């Protein structure tokens, strides 16, 4: 199994994914704060593009939903993409269908081509419900 760093295409997508993860764990948002939201500069070649339902279907995956039961299939495809030597994959967000997530495979602590841009935006209070979030 390979570790990964997940990034979102927008703040709404990042917060939707955060809310989804909290809901799965049963953790109230206030217990997961404070939280820093970072921007990243990404320069990674050969990203596997699974960003549409058609592209997901080609590898045997459905459109993602916020259901933990889907994880094994998506993880299996991610592992296969990593085994092919691809450094990352782009996919629809399970928590916000209009959003996209970038999964950067992380064999080491540092991901070449991924640079955080300081300073982060710090949040002491939970954000409002992200636009387009699904549960």
Four-residue CA torsion sign, 52, 69, 87, 122: positive
Name the pairing type of β-strands 35-42 and 114-123: antiparallel
Q: Give me the residue label for tokens 């459109």.
A: 63
Segment 119-131 mean pLDDT: 90
* Tokens matching residue 13: 């997508």
Q: pTM of the prediction? A: 0.91
Predicted local confidence at residue 134, as pLDDT = 80
Q: Which of 91, 65, 72 is nearest to 9 (CA)?
A: 91
Model confidence over 78-103: pLDDT tens digits?
999 999 999 999 999 999 989 999 99
- Could you give the CA distance from residue 15 to residue 133 in angstroms, rounded to a whole number? 9
pLDDT (tens digit per residue) in 2-49? 999 999 999 999 999 999 989 888 999 999 999 999 999 999 999 999
């Amino acid at each position: 199994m390979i570790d990964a760093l997940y990034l979102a295409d927008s703040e709404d997508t990042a917060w939707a994914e955060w809310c989804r993860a909290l809901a799965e764990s049963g953790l109230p948002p206030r217990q997961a704060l404070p939280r820093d939201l970072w921007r990243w500069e990404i320069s990674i070649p050969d990203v596997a593009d699974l960003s549409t339902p058609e592209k997901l279907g080609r590898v045997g995956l459905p459109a993602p939903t916020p259901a933990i039961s889907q994880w094994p299939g998506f993880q299996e495809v991610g592992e296969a993409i990593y085994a092919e030597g691809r450094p990352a994959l782009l996919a629809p967000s399970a928590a916000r269908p209009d959003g996209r997530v970038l999964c950067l495979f992380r064999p080491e602590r540092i991901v070449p081509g991924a640079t955080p841009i300081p300073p982060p935006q710090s949040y002491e209070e939970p954000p409002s419900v992200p636009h387009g979030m699904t549960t």
